[in-house]
Structure 1
Amino acid sequence: MALLVLLSTVSFTVEKHFCGDVLIDTAVFTEAQKCMMEAFEMEQALITKKNCCKDELEVIKGQDKLKLSKFEELPSIHKVFITSLVYSIFDLFETVDKEIIPHKDYSPPNLVADIQVLDQVFII
């Protein structure tokens, strides 16, 4: 949900560079690259007062108004729903008492010899 709000409120510009009627470069976050004719066109534009290269900026605006309402302004059915939702979510993460292990401190006796090997009794 937060990602959706972030993407809907982000604004950015798309810069396009045309040389004549041909699209040379398009850039979203950086400046569009100029064509090689740009320097030549600058000199010629001083003489003829015309320039065939042009830049276009397209601004894509995101949403700038977000409606924030207070809890008191909500209808009563929404208040009940939100309250029950929050209560049930917090109830899911209820802490459980620590489990008591009665034989935690018990250490088994040391084995002196393996009885099955001594008696040669094996499970087949």
Structure 2
Amino acid sequence: MALAMLVLLSTVSFTVEKHFCGDVLVDVSMFTEVDKCAMEAQELMLKKSCCKDEIDIVQGQDELKTTSFDDLDFNVHKFLAVFAHTYMYGFEHLPKETIPHKDYSPPNLTPDIQVLDQVFLI
């Protein structure tokens, strides 16, 4: 499961958009367009801009290296064969143990009246 997540996360690409008004970060967005500040509308009329947008692109891996069983070394083939054989045939099947007192029910316990009532002879 961990390896599948690692492959998935290494191949995903995404962009992070940031909108700055002066030196102040106004909005950050990963999946949608960033929200512009109120200064952006005024700047269009004045032709002077103090706002800026930054776009960071995180590129994922495009090509994955796949290896087939035939590409492996002879020593790896030997190890895998021995491991599979040991795993399948290496464990002994133990005989079932018989439990002689399996169906025995214990006797009913009677409560100690002296302890329950806290009455002792001194």
Structure 1 length-normalised TM: 0.58
Instruction: State the alpha-carbon separation in 2 of the partners of residues 28 and 95 from structure 1.
Output: 60
Deviations 1:37-82 (A, max 9, x none): 012123x16xx4x644332222111112111111112111122233
Give the aligned CA root-mean-square deviation in angstroms. Answer: 3.8
Q: CA deviation at 1:91?
A: 7.0
Task: Give identity over the alignment, percent.
Answer: 50
Number of matched residues?
108
Structure 1 unaligned spans of 5+: 115-124
Instruction: State the alpha-carbon separation in 2 of the partners of residues 82 and 61 from structure 1.
Output: 36
Aligned partner letter, 2:21: C
Structure 2 unaligned spans of 5+: 113-122
1:60–1:86 Cα change, 3 Å = farther
Q: Select the residue among 53, 58, 61 that pairs with 2:59.
A: 61
1:32–1:85 Cα change, 3 Å = farther
Structure 2 length-normalised TM: 0.59
Instruction: State the alpha-carbon separation in 2 of the partners of residues 27 and 91 from structure 1.
Output: 58
Which SS does the other structure have where 2:55 is aligned?
strand
